[in-house]
């Protein structure tokens, strides 16, 4: 669980104090301020590319930022965006681009399967399928999500987890 806290918190440039509060409040994970400082040091030592990305974003005066699909988010003149906004837009905006592309691909890929796309929430899709086609539909959803990811993430594979369950509440 600490790895999830670090990946989510530090990718958006949380300081040690914020990271500690976030870990406890959202995940119930507790560690000392000294441990948070050490976690940050080790994370950025291991992921120097993330540190370089943060530096680039924080030292360039930007009034707009682009996702990997080249979609632009801009801020009003005279309002300089916070570093967390710049970082979040690049990461979450690109995730949204991937999901939108996946939805367009799935619309075609699911034809004839009896499956229905019911809902999209952040990075999750809820698809309903006849029991007899569930495995086939799961494979279609997984491969389609990976295909959508590969359009934008050319050097990093998109990890996809598909869960078959009777209802959304039953997913674990």
Q: What is the pLDDT of residue 17?
A: 94
Q: How far is CA 117 from the centre of its chain?
A: 20
* Tokens at 45, concatenated: 């030592």
Is the residue at 152 inside a domain?
yes
At 43, is the secondary structure helix, strand, or coil? helix
Is the residue at 44 inside a domain?
yes
Same domain, 55 and 100: no
Is the residue at 74 inside a domain?
no
Which is it for the CA torsion 83, 60, 79, 100, positive or negative?
negative
DSSP state of 132: G
Is the residue at 72 inside a domain?
no
CATH number at residue 103: 3.30.70.370
Same domain, 54 and 109: no
Same domain, 47 and 111: no
Q: Which of 59, 76, 108 is the last residue of a domain?
A: 59
Is the residue at 2 inside a domain?
yes
d(CA 156, CA 82): 27
Angle, nearest 10°, between helix axes 134-152 and 83-109?
140
Q: How far is CA 48 from CA 20, 73, 98, in A?
A: 22, 26, 25
Q: What is the pLDDT of residue 46?
A: 94
Q: What is the pLDDT of residue 113?
A: 95
Ordered mean pLDDT values, 10 residues apiece, the chain (172 residues): 82 89 89 93 93 86 87 89 87 93 96 94 91 95 95 89 84 62
Name the one residue in this structure whose structure tokens are 């005066």: 61
Q: Which of 169, 123, 172, 115 is nearest to 148 (CA)?
A: 123
Same domain, 165 and 108: yes
Backbone conformation region of residue 12, classed left if phi is above 0, alpha if psi is from -120 to 50, else beta: alpha
Same domain, 54 and 112: no
Is the residue at 165 inside a domain?
yes
Q: What is the pLDDT of residue 42?
A: 94
Structurally, how many domains does the chain consist of? Answer: 2
Is the residue at 87 inside a domain?
no
Is the residue at 70 inside a domain?
no
Domain that holds residue 12: 1-59
Same domain, 47 and 106: no
């Amino acid at each position: 669980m600490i790895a999830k806290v670090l990946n989510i918190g530090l990718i958006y440039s949380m300081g040690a104090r914020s990271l500690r509060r976030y870990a406890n409040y959202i995940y119930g994970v507790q560690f000392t301020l000294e441990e948070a400082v050490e976690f940050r040091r080790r994370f950025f030592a291991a992921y120097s590319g993330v540190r370089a990305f943060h530096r680039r974003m924080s030292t360039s005066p930007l009034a707009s930022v682009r996702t990997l699909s080249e979609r632009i988010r801009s801020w009003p003149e005279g309002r300089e965006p916070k570093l967390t906004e710049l970082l979040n837009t690049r990461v979450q905006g690109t995730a949204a681009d991937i999901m939108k592309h996946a939805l367009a691909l799935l619309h075609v890929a699911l034809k004839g399967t009896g499956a229905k796309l019911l809902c999209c929430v952040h990075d999750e899709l809820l698809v309903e399928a006849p029991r007899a086609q569930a495995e086939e539909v799961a494979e279609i959803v997984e491969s389609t999500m990976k295909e959508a990811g590969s359009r934008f993430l050319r050097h990093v594979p998109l990890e996809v987890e598909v869960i078959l369950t009777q209802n959304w509440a039953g997913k674990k």
